[in-house]
Structure 1
Amino acid sequence: MALSKVLLGPLALRRLLPCAIGHRQERALASSEIRFAKLAQEKKPDWNRAVSEAEKIVGYPTSFLSLRWLLSDEIANVALHLRKLVGSNHPLLKTAKGLLYNGKNNMQAWGLIVLLISKAAGHTADIPDMEQDKAAGVLHSQRALAEVTEMIRTSHLVHKGLVNLQPPNNIDPTGDMMFGNKIALLSGDYLLSNSCIELANLRNQDLVELMSSAVRDLSEAEFVGPRDKQNNPLPAKPKTNQVEYTQFTENNLEPLVVSEALGNAQAEWTLRHVLNAGSLLGKSCQGTLKLAGHSEDLQEKGYLFGKHLALAWQACLDREPFQHGSSGPFSLVCAPLMFTLQHKPELYEHIEKGMDTVDDVDYELLRKEVIDGPGLELTKNLQKEHSQAALKVLNELPASDARTALANIIAAVQES
């Protein structure tokens, strides 16, 4: 590989991308003393600090931004092509920003959580020494699974950035959107194909089946409920009779039942985000315990931990657009709005205006209704409920620095 290509990867992502999407927020360096994720009791739990200290415990920062990926020709080419999209407002630029920027919405922490649960649970005594990364306290196969988790999630988010250019959406006179679609499609396919190769190399048929079902759930999430013509999700029309959401299936390898949840605020929100996030994180945590040789009972608890943490995380994110001074569009399937629609069904006529495009929705009117209604408080309760459920599972693991780090991440999500 030529020297210019070797240097292109880190330069492309760390210099070219910020040209397109803004200056990167640098993470503050920790003090010389590693505190092993013991947050100071007098300070409010902080997400960035919790993640930063958790990375020290596994000795392994975000795998997607590791040198192995930064130095690849394919990633370097993606970065160069992204530069050509500057000014086009293609959704792929926003996704790229999420890969580099710090904050609760970053995608990089998913692999970290898989590694932390791996280290917290340990492994059985029959695992060969050559399979163990003794310095990090995890198995080499578990590290590979953490990378697979990040690649699957990232490829899904990149694919979601495709723009519908079919008539009557004649919005691409310059060809920039078509070019962005090609980059989004090919780069997402590249990551997904690499994740399949990594997964196959682990030579574990049960794990392949488990992670394949997670990919199926991610795909199915794109077909739940009504959508506008750009495939932006819209909430289903509220029903008067509420149902309590359950797993709907005894085996988490089976597809979830969709029809029973639509129109019931909490059930629909939970279903959407189990498919879109909770399934992948939960099954990754379940899979990493499978690799460590743990019992099926503990594997199931790993799934519940990942699922509840993902839902708590999503509830936290859903509340952000309604903080004081917020403005602009927000997800129409966020929990605060769905609870508000359930409380005032007549507001659904404003959702119906977005059937062609969500740009026709009066977001400020809906924001005011959410702030004045019970939606935010119910979402806060939902966030607390899933945080406590994740913490309950976590407390069944032996005390360790990794368990403390996960508890700090849960606390940072719960207190946000």
Structure 2
Amino acid sequence: MEVRRQALPASLALLSLNYGDAALETNPARGFVYDSRNNLQMRGLVVLLISKAAGPSTAELSFQHNMVSGIYSSQRSLAEITELIHTAFLVHRGIVNIGELKSCDGPLKDMQFGNKMAVLSGDFLLANACTSLAQLQNTKVVELISSAIGDLVQGIYYENSKSSENCLTDDIGISTWKEQVFLSHSALLAKSCQAAMELAKHSTEIQDMAFQYGKHMSMSHKLHSDLQPFVKESSSDTMAFSLNSAPAVLHQEFLGREAWIKQIREAQGKGNIMDYKKLREAIKAGKGVTSAIDLCCCHGNRALAALERFPPSEARAALANIVYAVTRFP
């Protein structure tokens, strides 16, 4: 299954990451979204792009003087808020479980100090984001972004909850996986895109299309990330991967829970050291990887379908190319 493609320029016009600058710059979407080393932050940029793609609302013409390069100042602020919230939760995720540390991991006092700094730094960023959110003076936008923060907390809780089988893998199906990924990865972007349309006073239909694009593009992005250890030619055979990633969850669905646990135990050597090469080959031999690729392309198609409601523009082409970047595999 492949994402349908259309003729688009090889290079993209992407809005500058400096939100105070309205200039456009050219960057390849694939390198922007995933540069083989880092999973780059792009949420704020997507909010800016979809704001520019939608343009001003025909129902509200009174504050168009507040636009720069087709984007309202409130939408720029929202893009900054989105990135602040995402960064705050990334910092909070850096907290180390002291109880799992070994003597070779370093001094305990350093780890405790690092945990305190992670909590304080994340809280500081989140507090600044909430202050800026209140300054937008839009009740619906505050409600949307506040609910996205709640979704993030719930999603991270699910990620950190311990499973019953040696805490290695969860007994979940792909539907549960998608629900959890929406909370922890997609809700913030989807609701930020919707909020950007609300700030411009666009119709409910346009708001829903923006939400759908943010949701399905970020789902494709997560699936693309999960698939890298299985499809990337240069990946190390010994590289660890999550046993709760999409290919593993789909593999478990096709194989059955008991057979999946048996494969995990067979891949564990002395000292419970996991042989990821052996386990990777077992997953690749099944249907999990191909099914995850199909699911990634399916979400990509739904994101592209949502974009069709927006008028043709350079910004819409950039949003489409971001989808193409995360649905293309070697």
Classify the TM-score, shorter chain.
0.7 to 0.9
**Where do residues 81-230 of structure 1 align in structure 2 (5 Å cutoff)?**
105-125=38-58, 126-129=60-63, 132-134=66-68, 136-166=69-99, 172-224=106-158, 227-228=161-162
Which residue of structure 1 lines up, in the alignment, with residue 207 of structure 2? 299
C-alpha contact (below 8 Å) 2:264/2:279 kept by paired residues: no
C-alpha displacement of 1:362: 3.7
In structure 1, runs of 5+ residues without a counterpart are: 1-36, 41-48, 68-100, 238-262
Which residue of structure 2 lines up, in the alignment, with residue 411 of structure 1? 324
C-alpha displacement of 1:183: 2.2
In structure 2, runs of 5+ residues without a counterpart are: 1-6, 22-33
C-alpha displacement of 1:104: 8.2
Of 186, 189, 193, the residue aligned with 1:278 is 186
CA distance in 2, matches of 1:235, 1:271: 17
The higher-RCO structure (CA 8 Å, 6+ apart) is: 2
C-alpha displacement of 1:102: 5.0
TM-score (norm 2): 0.81
C-alpha contact (below 8 Å) 2:217/2:299 kept by paired residues: yes
Of 228, 236, 252, the residue aligned with 1:320 is 228
C-alpha displacement of 1:234: 5.1
C-alpha contact (below 8 Å) 2:95/2:119 kept by paired residues: yes
What one-letter code is carried by the residue in structure 2 that aligns with 1:396? R
Q: Deviations over 1:5-63 (max 9, x none)?
A: xxxxxxxxxxxxxxxxxxxxxxxxxxxxxxxx9523xxxxxxxx54xx312xxxx3255
CA distance in 1, matches of 2:283, 2:222: 17
What one-letter code is carried by the residue in structure 1 that aligns with 2:250? F
Q: Deviations over 1:106-138 (max 9, x none)?
A: 44311111111111111224243466233x210
C-alpha contact (below 8 Å) 1:278/1:311 kept by paired residues: yes
Which residue of structure 2 lines up, in the alignment, with residue 379 of structure 1? 292
**Where do residues 326-337 of structure 1 align in structure 2 (5 Å cutoff)?**
326-327=235-236, 328-337=239-248
C-alpha displacement of 1:286: 0.4
CA distance in 2, matches of 1:149, 1:225: 21
Which residue of structure 2 lines up, in the alignment, with residue 338 of structure 1? 249
CA distance in 2, matches of 1:353, 1:214: 40
Identity percentage over the alignment?
38
Structure with greater helix share of residues: 2
What one-letter code is carried by the residue in structure 1 that aligns with 2:17? P
Aligned length: 299
CA distance in 1, matches of 2:91, 2:84: 10
TM-score (norm 1): 0.65
The 3-state SS of whatever aligns with 2:98 is coil
Quote the RMSD (CA, aligned, Å): 2.9
C-alpha displacement of 1:190: 1.4
C-alpha contact (below 8 Å) 2:304/2:323 kept by paired residues: yes
Which residue of structure 1 lines up, in the alignment, with residue 29 of structure 2? none
CA distance in 1, matches of 2:98, 2:313: 52
The 3-state SS of whatever aligns with 1:54 is strand
C-alpha displacement of 1:227: 3.5
